[in-house]
Amino acid sequence: MYKLTIILLSLIAGTAFSASSNNVLRNTELNILQLMVDTREQQRANPEQSLACFDYYLKVLDDHNEEYRLGFAACLDEADDKRSNVDAATQPERDEIEQSAKTSCEALNVCAKLVGSVDYFSCFSSTGKESTESMYEISANAGESLAKVREEYRVIESAEYRCTNATERVYVEKTYKTNQELQSCLRGESSVPTTAAPPEVSTSNPETTPAP
């Protein structure tokens, strides 16, 4: 039983970091611990069988965990890439807005350098009006771009949710099946799976029985 405890502690240690940020992996650990409690009588009755069961199925569960981590991370990475593409596609609109704002600021700076009061106030009067129109256009264009980007982000987030949800569903179904098989193995209802060698294929000609 000492070796069995070491195996279980190794599984928990291997998944603890991810489980701290993901309840799905944590649930797998808790299910294993609960299964240990539920089958403790069978483990005491047949420790060698129990050890073999855990040794096999914990590796299977570990493979499920790794597959889930990679799949979940792939969903997040894909969504991040799409958001980055959306941001990159807005560069022309950004350049236009920044150039318009820069032009307005430069025009006002020219007015600020005038010495004569008539020229000074006249410049700000006309340029200020033009700048107001420019600022309104900047605000309108930015608002339209914002609405477009928000909608594209919403579509990306929806796809990201579907991807992570599908990954989680596959993981839960696989771990549930594996837990059921582990429980059956611990109760002595099934044996530990083994990888059977593929049957040999004869390359010689089959013997024929001569016709009577």
The pLDDT value given to residue 103: 87
The secondary structure of residue 1, as a DSSP letter, is -
The pLDDT value given to residue 6: 43
**SS3 of 170, please?**
helix
Chunked into runs of 10 residues, the chain (212 residues) has average pLDDT values of 46 42 70 75 76 88 90 93 95 90 87 87 86 86 92 96 92 90 85 60 44 42
The pLDDT value given to residue 5: 46
The pLDDT value given to residue 177: 92
> What's 2-186's CATH class?
mainly alpha
- In angstroms, the CA 88 to CA 58 distance is 45
The pLDDT value given to residue 150: 95
- In angstroms, the CA 16 to CA 7 distance is 14
The pLDDT value given to residue 53: 87
Residue spans per domain, the chain: 2-186
Phi-psi region of 182 (alpha: psi -120 to 50; beta: other; left: phi over 0): alpha
Residue closest to 132 by CA, chosen among 107, 110, 150, 155: 107
Tokens 């339209």 belong to: 144
- In angstroms, the CA 34 to CA 40 distance is 10
